[in-house]
Amino acid sequence: MNRRQFFLQIGNDLTQTIQDLVFDYLHEKKETMNALVDELIDLKWIPIGKFHPATFDMIQEFYIKGKPVYVYSDGKIMKAVGGICTACQSITIWIAHEKKIKCTQCEGSYSIEQEEGTLPLESYPTKVDDDVWYVAAV
């Protein structure tokens, strides 16, 4: 090995060592950084319970910060939408046999199965941690 190859190898090894250290550090601090970002944007995670999305075949209504929120599953993850129509500010209702959320004031509807409709609803982020599902209260 000549001098040029030696210094190239030293440079490559040093770069790899720094990358490994930074990756390990960031991996360890991931939860702390997530909590910091949540705090900066005033995001509070509200636990809603232990569910498995594949077997969650119904919709449940929760009240988060005094507002109704519908939680349902697409089979893979839990999803959450607000229970207040953003067009007319009326409280919506769940029609179980149609699998739709409806507003009686403006007559809009939102299909849970197609995740679309004429009813404008606010969407809430969800996450899972240790098999407990959380909905973000913004």
Residues whose CB falls within 8 Å of the CB of residue 26, separated by 6 or more in sequence, listed in order: 33
Q: What is the total count of domains within the chain?
A: 2
* Residue numbers of the domain that contains 21: 3-34
CB hemisphere CA count around 42 (13 angstroms)? 1
Q: What is the dihedral of CA 95, 97, 100, 105, to 10 degrees?
A: -30
Q: Backbone phi, then psi, for 78, in 5-degree steps?
A: -85, 145
- The reported pTM is 0.70
**Same domain for 121 and 88:** yes
Rounded to whole angstroms, how far apart are CA atoms 3 and 9?
Answer: 10
Same-domain pairing of 55 and 29: no
pLDDT of residue 57: 73
Q: Are residues 76 and 124 in the same domain?
A: yes
21 has a pLDDT exceeding 90: no
